[in-house]
Structures are given as structure tokens and as C-alpha cells.
Amino acid sequence: MKHLYTLLFLLWASVPTFAQEVDSLQQQIQQIESSMKYQYGEISLKDGLAKINVPKGFKYLDAEQAEYVLTELWGNPKSGTTLGMLIPEQYGVLDQNAWVFDIEFDEIGYVKDDDANDIDYTELLGTMQEETLEGNKERTEAGYEPITLVGWASAPYYDQESKILHWAKEVKFGDSEENTLNYNVRVLGRKGVLVLNAIAGMNNLPEVKKNIATITGSVTFEQGQTYFDFDPDVDDVAAWTIGSLVAGKLLAKAGFFALLLKFWKVIAIALAAGGSAVVKLFKRRKENDVEVEQPEHQQVS
């Protein structure tokens, strides 16, 4: 009983400091969110290469702010390749359930889609899982967690008419209890592909899938840059095909599989959110309390 009273006293004594720390954390999160300058309407991407009409229910962060969110707030490696991000209107960048679509352009050339109807995606998944495991040695040596490709969260689908490819992978980082969703969209163009990657948790999958048509319909190449503007006399044909876009084989064989994952959501987004941070803080204080009691327990035993 004495130990119980001591523990209760320690918990009670810690409440003011605990509350202050939580309050301070919430204030910091609010300050960060207030500093975000969201945009709406039609926005030009990459000096007129493409444009985005921010769809209803979403807001847009420009490239500079998106890079800050991805690297400084979420802990991803710096790349400088983002063109901005789309965020559901109801979320802030540090909300626990937040998810985004990051936008990039990969200037790989004109991607032929001749193989689109001939791909065995079950077999392809097995190959990708093997290559992911092989790439973990390089990834861990670089200081990142190993990755397990769990499987398709949404099977690959290619829209032949609109020249849009999308698929989703379920990924596990290290020993994380929450798996990560990597929903990929590629809009094929004359000189490369617009890359839209959903950075989200698996719990966001229904919400992300529900908005795929909205997202893909909001981003378009400008006239002269579309897939149908390809000129074989002057334009380069990509070494990539539809299958290799899904598999990422060229980068994987070059030993750079980690680059494909540079914007996959790390669990840090959850840890940065208020609720999770509070739980972590409480656990840390509880562990400290147990350490105070431990010597007396040892004496008794």
C-alpha cells in the first residue's frame, strides 16, 4: 500500500509539469499550422509544364513549404524535387490522421505503354519483394530502417485513354506497429511523368482510394506537353515501361531503391501529433516513477 501511495503522489506531483509540456506542444503545433500558406484555384507547376486545379475538399502547399513539411516535420531525406502537395481540407500537416499527395515531375522521357495489358502483377510483386529485401543492406547502412513490402494495397491499374497509371503498396518500416500506405499515381506526358504519391497510413486507404479520381482529374499537362504531343523525331523515348514504373526496376538494380521511398510517410508524423506525443510523454514519466520505486522493491525481495 505504501508503494501505491508513493506512486500516486509522484503522478500527482508531475501533473502540473506534464500539463504544461502538453500545452506547450499543442501551441507549437498550432503555430506551425498557422504558418502554412495554403493555396486554392489553378496553380502552374514547373514553369508551365503542367497545372493543377486544386479540387474541392483539398488545399495546396507550394514546393518550398512542402519540402519543409516532408523533411523538417516528417523526417524524410532532403531531395528538392517536390512541386508541392495536396492536403485534405480538414487536416493540418501535423494531425495524427493527416495524409497528403506529394507532386513531382520525373523527366525520364516518353514512356511506351505497349506492355500495359501483358503484365502479371502477382509475379511482379514477388520480384519487388525480393528486391526490397536485397536493398535493405544498403538502406540500413545509410541509417534508415529496413523495409518489408507486405503486398498490394490496391492492384495496379492503367487507364489507357487518359494515360494514367496508379497502384498502391503496403509497406512495413522496421518494427513499426503501423504499416505505411504508398499510393502511387503516374500521369504520362511527352517528356516524362507527373508523380503523385500519397503519403499515408494504412488506415487512410479507404479515404485515399475514394479521392483517386478527384486527384487524377485535377492535374494535367499543358498543351504541347501531353502524351499525345509526342514527336518521335525530337523527343526521347524512356527506358521505362508501364511494368518498370510499377516495379521501379531501373532504380532498384542501380542500388537506389531507397530513392523510390523518399517520400513514404514515416511514423514520425504520428509521433509529432499531439495525442501520440502525450502518450509518449506519459509513458516516459511512468517509467521514471517505476525507477524511483525499484530500489525499495529490491530490498523487500
Q: Could you tell me if 281 and 18 are in contact, meaning their C-beta atoms sit under 8 angstroms apart? A: yes
Q: Could you tell me if 184 and 197 are in contact, meaning their C-beta atoms sit under 8 angstroms apart? A: yes
pLDDT tens string 109-142: 999 999 999 999 999 999 999 988 988 888 888 8
Are 155 and 15 part of one and the same domain?
no
Are 157 and 285 part of one and the same domain?
no
Distance CA 79, CA 87 (A): 20
Q: What pLDDT is stored for residue 74 in this prediction?
A: 81
47, part of any domain: yes
164, part of any domain: yes
pTM: 0.74
Are 283 and 158 part of one and the same domain?
no
Q: How confident is the model at residue 26 (pLDDT cuts 50, 70, 90)?
A: confident
Are 18 and 54 part of one and the same domain?
no
Q: Which H or E element spans position 135? A: helix 121-141
Q: What pLDDT is stored for residue 184 in this prediction?
A: 93
- Count helices and strands in the chain by DSSP H and E runs: 10, 12
Q: What pLDDT is stored for residue 143 in this prediction?
A: 82
144, part of any domain: no
127, part of any domain: no
Are 106 and 23 part of one and the same domain?
no
Tell whether the model's pLDDT for residue 244 goes beyond 70: yes
254, part of any domain: no
The CA–CA distances, whole Å, from 7 to 286, 287, 294, 298 equal 9, 11, 11, 16
Are 227 and 188 part of one and the same domain?
yes
Are 71 and 57 part of one and the same domain?
yes
252, part of any domain: no
Number of folded domains that form the chain: 2
Q: What pLDDT is stored for residue 19 in this prediction?
A: 56
CATH number of the domain within which 75 lies: 2.60.120.1690
143, part of any domain: no
Are 155 and 22 part of one and the same domain?
no
Residue 81: domain span: 37-113+151-242+260-266
pLDDT tens string 138-165: 888 888 788 899 999 999 999 999 999 9
Q: What pLDDT is stored for residue 177 in this prediction?
A: 81
Are 223 and 89 part of one and the same domain?
yes
Tell whether the model's pLDDT for residue 38 goes beyond 90: yes
Distance CA 172, CA 149 (A): 7
Residue 237: φ, ψ to 5°: -95, 130
Q: Residue type for 117, please?
A: N
Distance CA 168, CA 172 (A): 13
Are 50 and 95 part of one and the same domain?
yes
Are 100 and 190 part of one and the same domain?
yes
The CA–CA distances, whole Å, from 103 to 45, 135, 136, 170, 247 equal 9, 25, 26, 20, 19
Are 90 and 230 part of one and the same domain?
yes
